[in-house]
Amino acid sequence: MDFPLFPLHTVLFPGCRLDLSIFEARYLDMLSRCLRQDTGFGVVCILEGEEVGQAAGRFAAIGCEALIRDWQRRPDGVLEIRVEGARRFRVNRAEVRHDQLTVAEVDWLHEVRTAPLAAGHADLATLLQALARHPLVEALGMDGTAADQQVLANRLGYLLPFEAEEKLKLLAMGAPARRLAYIRQLLERLQGEAPD
């Protein structure tokens, strides 16, 4: 049981990028090991607790491997890193070590073969292009093109303002077509809740 977990108030998806500022000793140690061994760590969404201080009280059983794509150390010792989501996993068992780092035994989830985008996905592809023009998304270097249904589902699931439990449900779904259908449902619900 030695796969390190980084509980955050976010849900990372495969192929999506996230910038983090690392200053806690447990995570600085974890990242120096990851960089030395060229390995990743797991991002899991916090359900109860905080990101800083004590280990999170409760986190989701499903998560996404994070691979370090870029890093730099600031003069004050804070480590700035950019990670990219890779494989999805399910946590079997987890324990908190004496330094408050959570480590786990995980099962890697099988990725369903993806399919090309169809004509019926044009509106969702256009939405992704619009989201990619947002300055925060542009800063991450995430463009608005989706090569297939899997990429489109992952990027929309990551970037749209859904609730954490909805994002986790999307992350757990295997088939890209099912994920895109669920994203449509969530978008219709969001539009229904929007004030006139």
Q: Of 101, 9, 126, 13, which is closest to residue 59 (Cα–Cα)? A: 9
Would you state the pLDDT for residue 188?
Answer: 94
Would you state the pLDDT for residue 60?
Answer: 96
Q: Is 56 left (phi over 0), alpha (psi -120 to 50) or beta?
A: beta
pLDDT tens track for 74-121: 999 899 999 999 999 999 999 999 888 999 999 999 988 889 999 999
Average pLDDT (134-157) is 94
The tokens for 33 are 């090991």
The Cα angle at residue 10 between residues 166 and 120, in degrees rounded to 5: 45
Q: Of 51, 160, 34, 153, which is closest to residue 100 (Cα–Cα)? A: 51
pTM > 0.85: yes
The yes-or-no verdict on residue 149 having pLDDT over 60 is: yes
Domains annotated for the chain, with CATH where assigned, are: 3-108 (2.30.130.40), 119-193 (1.20.58)
pLDDT tens track for 119-130: 999 999 999 999
DSSP state letters, 11-69: ---TT-EEEEEE-SHHHHHHHHHHHHHT--EEEEEEEES-SSSSPPSEEEEEEEEEEEE
Average pLDDT (161-186) is 96
pLDDT tens track for 48-77: 877 666 666 799 999 999 999 999 999 998
